[in-house]
Amino acid sequence: MVASQYLPPWFSVAPMMDWTDNHYRTLARLISKHAWLYTEMLAAETIIYQQGNLDRFLAFSPEQHPIVLQIGGSNLDNLAKATELANAYNYDEINLNCGCPSPKVAGHGCFGVSLMLDPKFVGEAMSVIAANTNVPVSVKCRIGVDDHDSYNQLCDFIYKVSSLSPTRHFIIHSRKALLNGISPAENRTIPPLKYEYYYALLRDFPDLTFTLNGGINTVDEVNAALRKGAHHVMVGRAAYQNPWYTLGHVDTAIYGAPSSGLTRRQVVEKYQVYGDAILGTYGNNRPHVRDVMKPLLHFFHSEPGNGLFKRKADAAFQTCKTVKSFLEETIVAIPDSVLDSPIEEAPRGREDLFADVHDLLPPPYKAREQEVLYAY
């Protein structure tokens, strides 16, 4: 598989630890055929140390294409080996995590967003990754780290990484990261969004491709960003916490393609077949029903019966050994009108989200000679 076989990543689902696993991606692909999907971040060391068990971490069904593998790490040899091992699974792109603010990643692991402080290493890492794969490579980063948060510093990072490696695609989370004093969850809400930095990058690096990430919750807002000139847009929590109404409109409203036409009942039936087939395949009774059903707990977000469905799910997890029996115990909480009706109109977004973004652009970036020399 190669990425050119697919429509562009105008809409992608962000890599999210403990969320965008194989189960969630299976559900997501039943809802949208064209959204680009990302794996959870996998540490290069995990891929290497699990060579005898790689299917558990890297395998996915062909239907999940287009799909991007996100890896994390700060050791060049390990990044090279992990990329080489992943080649057998035919991902459509390899992405390096330079944006995770978790202390376990950015602090003790010395990767994630802390890598933004060492763009020369990131350039070397991306060169190593690219040398060990035949698919495109990309970087996901923030707009800054702690007090290293000026637009020029962001541009220095982009300039150095793109100059030192074949990287031509950057996913920009439009918040900086604070490494001390706040949690990863707070890092998704407390630092202010600066979409103007993203749009300035489009102006200053016309030869590169950028995906906008951060604070975008509806297909309506994705289209607003695209109308303002964004190359691509990535959505995170909304695609997980409300998958039916977020992903259900992607194919039609963003790609102009036909809807799958599936009702929620039909999606659940297809997902049940997948779930019962995968139970226990990792060994030691993993995955179990709770693992497989986790993404479906958000499938009826804000609908009548959702609260009762979740209460029944809590009880069913204690006794059910199959997805079929779990659904028999729980789905009765959801009215037929919800299960069988076609998807309704997409939720409206915030109309002013990007209204004045082009009036806020920082001054154009000019690479300073000393920065060029430092990069090399």
Give residue-wise pLDDT tens across range 71-96.
999 999 999 999 999 999 999 999 99
Rounded CA-CA distance 51/82 in Å is 9
Q: Measuring CA to CA, how many Å separate 60 from each of 89, 108, 181, 328?
A: 8, 30, 37, 27
Between 97-106, 208-217, 355-364, the lowest mean confidence (pLDDT) is in 97-106
Q: What is the mean pLDDT of the chain?
A: 92
Binding-site residue numbers are: 15-17, 70, 140, 173, 213-215, 236-237
pLDDT score at 108: 44
Across the strands, what pairs with 144?
Answer: none
Sequence-distant contacts of 100-106: CB under 8 A, at least 24 apart: 100/17, 100/41, 100/72, 100/184, 101/142, 101/177, 101/178, 101/179, 101/184, 101/187, 102/17, 102/184, 103/179, 105/41, 105/72, 106/177, 106/179
Rounded CA-CA distance 179/167 in Å is 26
pTM of the model: 0.93
pLDDT score at 349: 83
Binned at pLDDT 50, 70 and 90, residue 1 comes out as very low
Active site residues: 100
Residue 245 has pLDDT above 70, yes or no: yes
Between 35-44, 171-180, 226-235, 344-353, the lowest mean confidence (pLDDT) is in 344-353
Maximum distance among all Cα pairs of the chain, rounded to whole angstroms: 67
Identity (one letter) of the amino acid at 32? Answer: S
pLDDT score at 102: 66
Binned at pLDDT 50, 70 and 90, residue 67 comes out as very high
Binding-site residue numbers for FMN are: 15-17, 70, 140, 173, 213-215, 236-237
Q: Are 120 and 336 in contact (CB under 8 A)?
A: no
191 Cα distance to chain centroid: 20
pLDDT score at 374: 52
Residue 2 has pLDDT above 80, yes or no: no
What's the rounded mean pLDDT across residues 336-352? 87
Between 16-25, 110-119, 270-279, the lowest mean confidence (pLDDT) is in 110-119
Binned at pLDDT 50, 70 and 90, residue 376 comes out as very low
Rounded CA-CA distance 183/206 in Å is 35
